[in-house]
Amino acid sequence: MDFSDKTLTCRECSKPFSWTAGEQQFFREKALINIPARCPRCRSARKAKLGLPDRAQTDVTCAGCGQATTVPFVPRNGHPVYCSACFAKAREAAETRETVEVGGPVS
């Protein structure tokens, strides 16, 4: 099934946020049924309020498509950073190359 980015509205701040195709694919793979109700920033704030550990959220520009995105880590200098969709494409391409080079399936 092909996914496409969707714009959702945060229940906390009422601002729109993107639910990327890659995130939707992750939800399907993990059998998660509830779509996100909060934007990444409000989700992070809620976790902090509940005392749950927080991952760093960093605003970046995707090296693949040039769109603004948020990633759950602080990028290191000199390393490209991709949005979820471009990262999935790059990973798929790398797995395909590895399968061809090795001659067997990638585990």
Give the dihedral sign, CA 45/14/58/83.
positive
Average pLDDT over residues 23-33: 87
Mean pLDDT lowest among 35-39, 52-56, 79-83: 52-56
The model carries a pTM of 0.50
pLDDT tens for residues 93-105? 877 775 545 445 5
**Range list of H helices, the chain:** 21-29, 40-49, 84-102
pLDDT tens for residues 39-69? 999 998 898 888 877 667 788 999 999 999 8
Give me the pLDDT at residue 102, please: 45
Amino acid present at 27: F
